[in-house]
């Protein structure tokens, strides 16, 4: 799996290093010739010849450019075989927690090259500070489940920060570790909220101390990837792509904040740049097209759809087919490339209502054995999407719906997948009721769902939005006032989303709120400034905005 097989929804890697050394003077490295990666500046005990690749690797690591970071750290090891920090840093490039990828065995193999035991490796640290960093990373690769390892790593980084409170990288990596506790630590909600708040506060400290630091900007974006906090990450989002313009992930990441704020032009611009950079990197490094950043391509499609540029969005399906023609996806772990076409299709037709998916009447897809949590997630999402698509086609006995029911019945109550698939079945039944015009049934099915505390989606929403389905059913049932409330709640979770704005404008008009409807249509016209001609809803919005 290369660094370009990006995550969808969720999460990170972890960390590391630095400190003062008597062996080499403190230096500032922003990039190797021709690369702009941001600025990292700290001293360590490595030989002078190891400094450039080590510092470059750290900058790449802060931007989750794992494969290139690993190459740089190995170059540092070659220059100084006794440089323990370079081994600990390389080990970290094999775990991508926010992406659902964790090759702990590969990481432990790197550690074995440094020393056969934890104690032996820590003895090789050049300074006390490097030893403290090393101890945190050693804890992360203990023989335990990932949530336990995440908690141990966070505890280790907090110790580093307590000992060296002014170390900017200690602040940055403790922010990252806190973020991992929120996402993956498995603790109670209050503990997760506290970890999220700490991640934001620490990342803000880094950004304030050095806006050129790639970790500060990157981690602040991740930590504030929620409508409630996104405004706190906006300055970092505006900065990150500029300071690390040669890291493809840095070109994409600002769109996490732009999406949560409904800044669709910025979402599109970010991912157009990221996709182009991904294409260029694949050519430059002679990689397979399966290594392309299909994550950025999917975000780009969603941005186009929010702009009403349905033709441009549909063209990306052809783009994916073209670049993957002749690529062998079966022999290598490329979950993003393997599932991207089906996901692009689903997103396109779910927004336009033109259901052309082969899943309308087709057999359920056959999943290959998953090699990572990421791949399992991709398989599950495609399975869910196929079931939803079959429901929109109006056939309650479609093979995909039968498969969903059978799979759900076969899961134990304690299985973590049960809740997700049960939620999908509720949506399937609601969509079937909607296509049959039974809006009372839609309201009945979704009422228990909307009372549960929702968590805003990270990235383009996968399944149909519950509050939008609920609002439409209420509106069709003559309950316009309640529909207004449902659509307003939808927009709290997905700000300025075009589908929710259109529903809200119609609901406000039906409820007799002419001024509110006009204001909402005007916001929609802003979204659809570059929309395709001939889209009926665009004409409706323009007319409504003038009333």
Dist CA 281 CA 426 (whole Å): 42
What pairs with residue 95 in β-bridges?
102
Sign of CA dihedral 366, 8, 445, 521: negative
E strands within 194-261? none
Q: What is the mean pLDDT of residues 307-333?
A: 90
pLDDT of residue 412: 81
State the DSSP H helix or E strand holding residue 29, giving kind and residue range, or none if neither.
strand 27-29
Say what the pTM is.
0.89
**What is the token pair recorded at 466?**
């519950």
Dist CA 115 CA 123 (whole Å): 9
pLDDT of residue 308: 96
pLDDT of residue 186: 82
- Chain length of the chain: 547
Q: What is the mean pLDDT of residues 128-132?
A: 96
Residue (of 271, 234, 253) closest to 64 by Cα position: 253
pLDDT at position 345 over 70: yes
Q: What are phi and psi of 40, to 5 degrees?
A: -120, 140
Cβ-contact 10, 137 below 8 angstroms: no
- Tell me the pLDDT band of 357, cut-offs 50, 70 and 90: low
- The tens digit of pLDDT for each residue in 182-223 reads 988 888 889 999 999 999 999 999 999 999 999 999 999 999
Dist CA 266 CA 241 (whole Å): 12
pLDDT at position 246 over 80: yes
- Tell me the pLDDT band of 276, cut-offs 50, 70 and 90: very high
- The tens digit of pLDDT for each residue in 425-467 reads 999 999 999 999 999 999 999 999 888 777 777 889 877 789 9
Dist CA 110 CA 337 (whole Å): 28
Q: What are phi and psi of 311, to 5 degrees?
A: -70, -40
pLDDT of residue 10: 35
Dist CA 153 CA 134 (whole Å): 10
Dist CA 357 CA 518 (whole Å): 35
Place of tokens 């803000």: 204
**What is the token pair recorded at 345?**
């299709």
Strand 95-96 to strand 101-102: parallel, antiparallel, or no bridges (unpaired)?
A: antiparallel
pLDDT at position 18 over 60: no
- Tell me the pLDDT band of 485, cut-offs 50, 70 and 90: very high
Dist CA 17 CA 133 (whole Å): 6
What pairs with residue 27 in β-bridges?
42
Dist CA 469 CA 5 (whole Å): 32
Sign of CA dihedral 292, 293, 295, 299: negative
pLDDT of residue 20: 22
Residue (of 398, 296, 312, 387) closest to 348 by Cα position: 312
CA-CA-CA-CA dihedral for 440, 443, 445, 447, to nearest 10 = -150
Dist CA 367 CA 375 (whole Å): 10
Cβ-contact 401, 386 below 8 angstroms: no
- The tens digit of pLDDT for each residue in 408-426 reads 888 888 887 788 888 889 9
Who's near 266: CB < 8 A, 6+ residues apart? 254, 255, 258
Dist CA 331 CA 316 (whole Å): 25
Dist CA 295 CA 299 (whole Å): 6
Measured CA angle at 268 (ends 264, 269), to 5 deg:
115
**What is the token pair recorded at 126?**
């050049």
Dist CA 330 CA 166 (whole Å): 48
**What is the token pair recorded at 101?**
């990828």
Average pLDDT taken over every residue of the chain: 88
Q: What are phi and psi of 96, to 5 degrees?
A: -125, 70
Dist CA 314 CA 318 (whole Å): 7
């Amino acid at each position: 799996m290369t660094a370009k097989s990006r995550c969808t929804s969720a999460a990170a890697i972890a960390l590391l290093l630095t400190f003062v050394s008597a062996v080499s003077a403190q230096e500032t490295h922003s990039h190797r010739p021709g690369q702009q990666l941001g600025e990292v500046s700290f001293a360590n005990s490595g030989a002078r010849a190891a400094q450039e690749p080590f510092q470059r690797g750290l900058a790449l690591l802060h931007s989750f450019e794992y494969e290139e970071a690993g190459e740089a750290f190995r170059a540092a090891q070659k220059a100084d075989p006794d440089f323990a920090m370079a081994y600990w840093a390389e080990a970290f490039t094999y775990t991508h927690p926010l992406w659902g990828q964790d090759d702990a065995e590969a990481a432990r193999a790197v550690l074995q090259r440094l020393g056969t035991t934890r104690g032996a490796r820590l003895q090789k640290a050049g300074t006390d500070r490097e030893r403290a960093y090393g101890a945190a990373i050693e804890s992360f690769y203990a023989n335990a489940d990932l949530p336990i390892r995440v908690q141990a790593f966070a505890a280790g980084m907090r110790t580093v920060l307590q000992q060296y409170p002014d170390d900017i990288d200690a602040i940055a990596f403790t922010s990252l570790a806190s973020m991992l506790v929120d996402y993956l630590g498995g603790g109670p909600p209050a503990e997760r909220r506290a970890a999220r708040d700490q991640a934001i506060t620490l990342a803000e400290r880094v950004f304030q101390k050095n806006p050129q630091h790639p970790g500060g900007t990157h981690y602040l974006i991740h930590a504030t990837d929620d409508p409630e906090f996104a405004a706190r990450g906006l300055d970092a989002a505006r900065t990150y792509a500029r300071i690390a313009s040669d890291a493809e992930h840095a070109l994409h990441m600002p769109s996490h904040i732009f999406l949560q704020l409904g800044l669709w032009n910025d979402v599109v611009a970010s991912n157009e740049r990221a996709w182009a950079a991904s294409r260029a990197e694949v050519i430059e490094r002679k990689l397979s097209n399966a290594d392309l950043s299909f994550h950025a391509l999917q975000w780009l499609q969603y941005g186009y759809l929010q702009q009403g540029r349905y033709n441009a969005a549909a063209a990306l399906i052809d783009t994916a087919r073209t670049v993957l023609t002749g690529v062998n996806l079966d022999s290598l772990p490329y979950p993003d490339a393997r599932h991207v076409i089906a996901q692009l299709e689903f997103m396109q037709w779910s927004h336009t209502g033109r259901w052309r998916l082969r899943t309308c009447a087709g057999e359920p897809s056959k999943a290959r054995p998953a090699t990572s949590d990421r791949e399992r997630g991709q398989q599950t999402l495609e399975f869910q999407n196929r079931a939803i698509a079959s429901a929109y086609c109006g056939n309650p006995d479609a093979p995909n719906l039968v498969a969903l029911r059978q799979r759900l019945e076969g899961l134990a109550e304690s299985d973590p997948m049960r809740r997700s698939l049960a939620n999908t079945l509720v949506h399937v039944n609601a969509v079937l009721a909607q296509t049959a015009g039974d809006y009372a049934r839609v309201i009945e099915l979704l009422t228990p769902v909307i009372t549960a505390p929702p968590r805003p989606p990270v990235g383009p929403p996968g399944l149909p939005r519950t509050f939008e389905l609920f609002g439409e059913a209420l509106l069709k049932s003559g309950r316009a006032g309640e529909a207004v409330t449902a659509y307003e709640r939808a927009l709290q979770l997905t700000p300025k989303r075009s589908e929710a704005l259109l529903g809200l404008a119609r609901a406000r008009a039906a409820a007799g709120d002419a001024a509110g409807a006009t204001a909402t249509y005007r916001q929609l016209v802003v979204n659809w400034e570059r929309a395709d001609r001939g889209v009926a809803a665009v004409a409706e919005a323009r007319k409504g905005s003038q009333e």
